[in-house]
Chains A and B, each alone.
Chain A
Amino acid sequence: MSLQNSTVSPRSESLLATNQLIRNTYLMLSLTLIFSAAMAGVSMWMNLPPMISLIAMFGSMALIWFVLPRTARSGAGLVTVFAITGLMGLGLGPTINYYLHLEGGDQIVMTALGGTGAIFLALSAYALISRRDFSFMGGFLMVGMIVVLLAMLGNLFFHLPALSMALSGAVILLMSGFILFDTSRMVNSGEDNYLMMTVSLYLSIFNIFVSLLNILGASRD
Protein backbone atom coordinates (compact mmCIF):
# COMPACT_ATOMS: atom_id res chain seq x y z
CA MET A 1 0.00 0.00 0.00
CA SER A 2 1.42 3.35 -0.92
CA LEU A 3 1.95 6.10 1.63
CA GLN A 4 -0.30 8.39 -0.39
CA ASN A 5 -3.30 6.10 0.11
CA SER A 6 -2.80 5.55 3.83
CA THR A 7 -2.48 9.19 4.91
CA VAL A 8 -5.18 11.83 5.23
CA SER A 9 -4.43 15.30 3.91
CA PRO A 10 -4.95 18.28 6.28
CA ARG A 11 -7.76 19.53 4.03
CA SER A 12 -9.73 16.29 4.14
CA GLU A 13 -9.01 16.03 7.87
CA SER A 14 -10.58 19.47 8.38
CA LEU A 15 -13.53 18.46 6.17
CA LEU A 16 -14.03 15.34 8.28
CA ALA A 17 -13.96 17.42 11.47
CA THR A 18 -16.50 19.87 10.01
CA ASN A 19 -18.82 17.04 8.94
CA GLN A 20 -18.56 15.47 12.38
CA LEU A 21 -19.31 18.81 14.04
CA ILE A 22 -22.39 19.29 11.83
CA ARG A 23 -23.60 15.72 12.47
CA ASN A 24 -23.08 15.97 16.25
CA THR A 25 -24.75 19.40 16.42
CA TYR A 26 -27.88 18.33 14.55
CA LEU A 27 -28.13 15.06 16.48
CA MET A 28 -27.81 16.93 19.77
CA LEU A 29 -30.24 19.61 18.59
CA SER A 30 -32.84 16.93 17.74
CA LEU A 31 -32.44 15.28 21.15
CA THR A 32 -32.68 18.57 23.04
CA LEU A 33 -35.76 19.65 21.06
CA ILE A 34 -37.48 16.35 21.90
CA PHE A 35 -36.49 16.71 25.58
CA SER A 36 -37.61 20.34 25.62
CA ALA A 37 -40.98 19.42 24.07
CA ALA A 38 -41.43 16.69 26.69
CA MET A 39 -40.69 19.19 29.48
CA ALA A 40 -43.15 21.67 27.93
CA GLY A 41 -45.73 18.85 27.91
CA VAL A 42 -45.09 18.15 31.61
CA SER A 43 -45.39 21.86 32.41
CA MET A 44 -48.68 22.09 30.47
CA TRP A 45 -50.06 18.96 32.12
CA MET A 46 -49.20 20.34 35.58
CA ASN A 47 -50.73 23.70 34.56
CA LEU A 48 -47.78 25.61 36.01
CA PRO A 49 -48.30 29.37 36.58
CA PRO A 50 -46.78 32.00 34.22
CA MET A 51 -44.21 32.98 36.87
CA ILE A 52 -42.52 29.62 36.17
CA SER A 53 -41.61 30.92 32.69
CA LEU A 54 -39.56 33.76 34.15
CA ILE A 55 -37.91 31.59 36.80
CA ALA A 56 -37.01 29.00 34.13
CA MET A 57 -35.62 31.76 31.86
CA PHE A 58 -33.45 33.11 34.71
CA GLY A 59 -32.22 29.59 35.47
CA SER A 60 -31.42 28.72 31.87
CA MET A 61 -29.68 32.06 31.21
CA ALA A 62 -27.56 31.62 34.36
CA LEU A 63 -26.55 28.17 33.09
CA ILE A 64 -25.72 29.59 29.63
CA TRP A 65 -23.66 32.48 31.00
CA PHE A 66 -21.85 30.92 33.95
CA VAL A 67 -21.89 27.10 33.64
CA LEU A 68 -21.85 26.23 29.92
CA PRO A 69 -18.59 28.09 29.07
CA ARG A 70 -16.81 26.13 31.84
CA THR A 71 -18.29 22.72 31.02
CA ALA A 72 -18.65 22.84 27.23
CA ARG A 73 -15.52 20.75 26.68
CA SER A 74 -16.31 18.06 29.24
CA GLY A 75 -18.96 15.41 29.83
CA ALA A 76 -20.73 17.76 32.23
CA GLY A 77 -21.45 19.97 29.23
CA LEU A 78 -24.01 17.40 27.99
CA VAL A 79 -25.89 17.57 31.30
CA THR A 80 -25.73 21.39 31.21
CA VAL A 81 -27.19 21.52 27.68
CA PHE A 82 -30.07 19.22 28.66
CA ALA A 83 -30.65 21.27 31.83
CA ILE A 84 -30.79 24.50 29.79
CA THR A 85 -33.16 23.15 27.15
CA GLY A 86 -35.27 21.31 29.74
CA LEU A 87 -35.71 24.49 31.78
CA MET A 88 -36.62 26.47 28.68
CA GLY A 89 -39.17 23.82 27.69
CA LEU A 90 -40.63 23.92 31.21
CA GLY A 91 -40.91 27.71 30.94
CA LEU A 92 -42.63 27.41 27.56
CA GLY A 93 -45.51 25.32 28.98
CA PRO A 94 -47.57 28.21 30.46
CA THR A 95 -47.17 30.23 27.23
CA ILE A 96 -48.43 27.35 25.07
CA ASN A 97 -51.28 26.74 27.53
CA TYR A 98 -52.28 30.41 27.22
CA TYR A 99 -52.50 30.17 23.41
CA LEU A 100 -54.27 26.81 23.53
CA HIS A 101 -57.03 28.34 25.63
CA LEU A 102 -57.73 30.99 22.95
CA GLU A 103 -60.32 30.23 20.28
CA GLY A 104 -58.55 28.22 17.57
CA GLY A 105 -55.48 28.12 19.79
CA ASP A 106 -54.43 24.66 18.64
CA GLN A 107 -54.16 26.02 15.09
CA ILE A 108 -52.00 28.95 16.30
CA VAL A 109 -49.62 26.59 18.11
CA MET A 110 -49.41 24.11 15.23
CA THR A 111 -48.86 26.88 12.65
CA ALA A 112 -46.13 28.44 14.81
CA LEU A 113 -44.51 25.03 15.21
CA GLY A 114 -44.62 24.29 11.47
CA GLY A 115 -43.48 27.81 10.59
CA THR A 116 -40.53 27.60 12.96
CA GLY A 117 -39.50 24.24 11.51
CA ALA A 118 -39.79 25.54 7.94
CA ILE A 119 -37.74 28.70 8.64
CA PHE A 120 -35.01 26.78 10.47
CA LEU A 121 -34.73 23.97 7.91
CA ALA A 122 -34.74 26.33 4.91
CA LEU A 123 -32.10 28.72 6.29
CA SER A 124 -29.89 26.02 7.74
CA ALA A 125 -30.05 23.98 4.53
CA TYR A 126 -29.22 27.08 2.49
CA ALA A 127 -26.16 27.90 4.64
CA LEU A 128 -25.01 24.26 4.59
CA ILE A 129 -25.46 23.69 0.87
CA SER A 130 -24.22 27.07 -0.39
CA ARG A 131 -21.30 27.03 2.11
CA ARG A 132 -21.44 30.84 2.06
CA ASP A 133 -19.56 32.65 4.80
CA PHE A 134 -21.97 34.75 6.87
CA SER A 135 -19.37 35.73 9.49
CA PHE A 136 -19.67 39.40 8.45
CA MET A 137 -23.12 39.51 10.12
CA GLY A 138 -21.78 39.16 13.69
CA GLY A 139 -21.61 42.84 14.63
CA PHE A 140 -24.92 43.64 12.93
CA LEU A 141 -26.72 40.84 14.78
CA MET A 142 -25.33 41.87 18.17
CA VAL A 143 -26.29 45.52 17.65
CA GLY A 144 -29.74 44.33 16.51
CA MET A 145 -30.07 42.28 19.71
CA ILE A 146 -29.25 45.30 21.87
CA VAL A 147 -31.76 47.51 20.01
CA VAL A 148 -34.51 44.88 20.32
CA LEU A 149 -33.80 44.36 24.04
CA LEU A 150 -33.94 48.12 24.69
CA ALA A 151 -37.24 48.36 22.78
CA MET A 152 -38.61 45.38 24.77
CA LEU A 153 -37.62 47.09 28.00
CA GLY A 154 -39.44 50.25 26.89
CA ASN A 155 -42.51 48.28 25.86
CA LEU A 156 -42.76 46.70 29.31
CA PHE A 157 -43.75 50.15 30.57
CA PHE A 158 -45.66 51.56 27.56
CA HIS A 159 -47.40 48.31 26.59
CA LEU A 160 -48.06 49.14 22.91
CA PRO A 161 -49.55 46.11 21.08
CA ALA A 162 -48.27 47.34 17.68
CA LEU A 163 -44.72 47.68 19.05
CA SER A 164 -44.97 44.23 20.61
CA MET A 165 -45.89 42.76 17.22
CA ALA A 166 -43.14 44.72 15.44
CA LEU A 167 -40.64 43.47 18.02
CA SER A 168 -41.74 39.87 17.46
CA GLY A 169 -41.17 40.38 13.73
CA ALA A 170 -37.74 41.89 14.41
CA VAL A 171 -36.84 38.93 16.67
CA ILE A 172 -37.81 36.46 13.93
CA LEU A 173 -35.57 38.27 11.41
CA LEU A 174 -32.71 38.55 13.93
CA MET A 175 -32.91 34.87 14.86
CA SER A 176 -33.05 33.95 11.17
CA GLY A 177 -29.81 35.92 10.80
CA PHE A 178 -28.33 34.02 13.75
CA ILE A 179 -29.26 30.68 12.12
CA LEU A 180 -27.36 31.71 8.96
CA PHE A 181 -24.44 33.03 11.04
CA ASP A 182 -24.19 29.95 13.30
CA THR A 183 -24.59 27.39 10.52
CA SER A 184 -21.95 29.21 8.49
CA ARG A 185 -19.64 29.18 11.55
CA MET A 186 -19.93 25.37 11.60
CA VAL A 187 -19.31 24.99 7.88
CA ASN A 188 -16.41 27.44 7.73
CA SER A 189 -14.75 26.06 10.89
CA GLY A 190 -15.22 29.15 13.05
CA GLU A 191 -16.53 27.02 15.90
CA ASP A 192 -15.49 23.53 16.91
CA ASN A 193 -17.70 22.83 19.93
CA TYR A 194 -20.99 21.10 19.11
CA LEU A 195 -22.52 21.81 22.53
CA MET A 196 -22.10 25.58 22.11
CA MET A 197 -23.50 25.34 18.57
CA THR A 198 -26.47 23.28 19.79
CA VAL A 199 -27.41 25.86 22.44
CA SER A 200 -26.96 28.72 19.98
CA LEU A 201 -29.22 27.12 17.35
CA TYR A 202 -31.71 26.00 20.03
CA LEU A 203 -32.06 29.60 21.28
CA SER A 204 -32.75 30.82 17.73
CA ILE A 205 -35.44 28.15 17.21
CA PHE A 206 -36.97 28.86 20.63
CA ASN A 207 -37.16 32.62 20.01
CA ILE A 208 -38.63 32.20 16.52
CA PHE A 209 -41.32 29.88 17.92
CA VAL A 210 -42.29 32.25 20.77
CA SER A 211 -42.33 35.28 18.44
CA LEU A 212 -44.43 33.42 15.85
CA LEU A 213 -46.90 32.48 18.59
CA ASN A 214 -47.15 36.17 19.55
CA ILE A 215 -47.60 37.36 15.95
CA LEU A 216 -50.10 34.64 14.96
CA GLY A 217 -52.05 35.08 18.19
CA ALA A 218 -52.28 38.83 17.59
CA SER A 219 -53.09 38.50 13.88
CA ARG A 220 -56.05 36.25 14.76
CA ASP A 221 -57.52 39.06 16.83
Chain B
Amino acid sequence: MDWIKILSAVFIVAMLVFLWPRVGQMIRESRKGTINEWLWVGLLLLAVAAFVVFLMQSMHSTVL
Protein backbone atom coordinates (compact mmCIF):
# COMPACT_ATOMS: atom_id res chain seq x y z
CA MET B 1 0.00 0.00 0.00
CA ASP B 2 1.43 3.39 -0.94
CA TRP B 3 1.78 6.46 1.24
CA ILE B 4 -1.04 8.35 -0.46
CA LYS B 5 -3.51 5.59 0.47
CA ILE B 6 -2.28 5.46 4.07
CA LEU B 7 -2.48 9.25 4.44
CA SER B 8 -5.94 9.29 2.80
CA ALA B 9 -7.12 6.68 5.32
CA VAL B 10 -5.68 8.73 8.21
CA PHE B 11 -7.42 11.82 6.83
CA ILE B 12 -10.80 10.07 6.59
CA VAL B 13 -10.46 8.58 10.10
CA ALA B 14 -9.58 12.03 11.46
CA MET B 15 -12.68 13.47 9.79
CA LEU B 16 -14.82 10.68 11.29
CA VAL B 17 -13.38 11.28 14.77
CA PHE B 18 -14.01 15.00 14.45
CA LEU B 19 -17.53 14.71 13.02
CA TRP B 20 -18.77 11.89 15.27
CA PRO B 21 -19.66 14.03 18.34
CA ARG B 22 -21.45 16.54 16.11
CA VAL B 23 -23.75 13.95 14.58
CA GLY B 24 -25.64 13.32 17.82
CA GLN B 25 -25.79 17.04 18.54
CA MET B 26 -27.18 17.81 15.06
CA ILE B 27 -29.78 15.04 15.30
CA ARG B 28 -30.92 16.33 18.71
CA GLU B 29 -31.01 19.99 17.66
CA SER B 30 -32.62 19.53 14.22
CA ARG B 31 -36.36 19.98 14.14
CA LYS B 32 -38.47 17.25 12.54
CA GLY B 33 -39.38 17.98 8.93
CA THR B 34 -42.88 17.38 7.59
CA ILE B 35 -43.54 14.95 4.73
CA ASN B 36 -44.15 17.93 2.46
CA GLU B 37 -40.76 19.47 3.33
CA TRP B 38 -38.93 16.19 2.70
CA LEU B 39 -40.79 15.84 -0.61
CA TRP B 40 -39.51 19.26 -1.70
CA VAL B 41 -35.94 18.33 -0.75
CA GLY B 42 -36.31 15.03 -2.62
CA LEU B 43 -37.53 16.86 -5.72
CA LEU B 44 -34.66 19.36 -5.61
CA LEU B 45 -32.06 16.60 -5.18
CA LEU B 46 -33.71 14.63 -7.98
CA ALA B 47 -33.34 17.70 -10.21
CA VAL B 48 -29.62 17.87 -9.30
CA ALA B 49 -29.22 14.14 -10.07
CA ALA B 50 -30.98 14.60 -13.44
CA PHE B 51 -28.67 17.52 -14.24
CA VAL B 52 -25.58 15.41 -13.44
CA VAL B 53 -26.89 12.58 -15.66
CA PHE B 54 -27.44 15.16 -18.42
CA LEU B 55 -23.83 16.37 -18.06
CA MET B 56 -22.59 12.76 -18.21
CA GLN B 57 -24.67 12.09 -21.33
CA SER B 58 -23.41 15.23 -23.05
CA MET B 59 -19.83 14.26 -22.18
CA HIS B 60 -20.40 10.73 -23.49
CA SER B 61 -22.06 11.89 -26.74
CA THR B 62 -19.12 14.20 -27.57
CA VAL B 63 -16.79 11.20 -27.34
CA LEU B 64 -18.99 9.16 -29.72
Interface residues of A (CB under 8 A from B): 50-51, 54, 57-58, 61, 65, 104, 107-108, 111, 115, 118-119, 122-123, 126, 132, 134-143, 145-146, 149-150, 152-153, 156, 169, 172-173, 176-177, 180, 212, 215-216, 219-220
Contact status B55-A111, CB under 8 Å = yes
Complex A-B, nearest 3 residue pairs according to Cβ-Cβ distance, in ascending order: A136-B33, A139-B27, A138-B30
Nearest residue (CB) in B for A136 is B33
Contacting residues, chain B, for A122 (C-beta < 8 A):
47
Q: Mark B9-47, 1 if CB is under 8 A from A, else 0.
A: 101111110111011001111111100011011001101
Looking at the assembled complex, report how far the CB atom of A208 sits from the nearest CB atom of chain B, in whole angstroms.
Answer: 9
**Can you list 14 contacts pairing A with B, beta carbon distance less than 8 Å?**
A51-B7, A108-B59, A132-B40, A146-B16, A146-B19, A149-B12, A149-B19, A153-B12, A169-B49, A169-B52, A172-B49, A176-B44, A180-B41, A219-B56
Contact status A61-B15, CB under 8 Å = yes
Contacting residues, chain B, for A152 (C-beta < 8 A):
12
Contact status B23-A143, CB under 8 Å = yes
Number of A-B contacts (CB under 8 A): 113
Task: Pick from B22, B28, B41, B59 the residue with the most CB of A within 10 Å.
Answer: B59
Nearest residue (CB) in A for B38 is A136
Per DSSP, chain B at the interface is helix
Looking at the assembled complex, report how far the CB atom of B61 sits from the nearest CB atom of chain A, in whole angstroms.
Answer: 11
Contact status A119-B19, CB under 8 Å = no
Q: Add 11 more A-B contacts to A115-B51, A138-B27, A219-B59 (CB < 8 A).
A: A51-B3, A61-B11, A119-B51, A134-B37, A136-B30, A136-B33, A137-B30, A138-B29, A139-B23, A141-B26, A220-B59
Contacting residues, chain A, for B8 (C-beta < 8 A):
54, 156
B56: contacting residue among A50, A61, A143, A215, CB under 8 A: A215
- In the complex, A48 Cα to B63 Cα: how many Å? 29
- In the complex, A143 Cα to B23 Cα: how many Å? 6
Contacting residues, chain A, for B56 (C-beta < 8 A):
215-216, 219
A136: contacting residue among B4, B32, B52, CB under 8 A: B32
Contact status A137-B12, CB under 8 Å = no
Contact status B59-A107, CB under 8 Å = yes
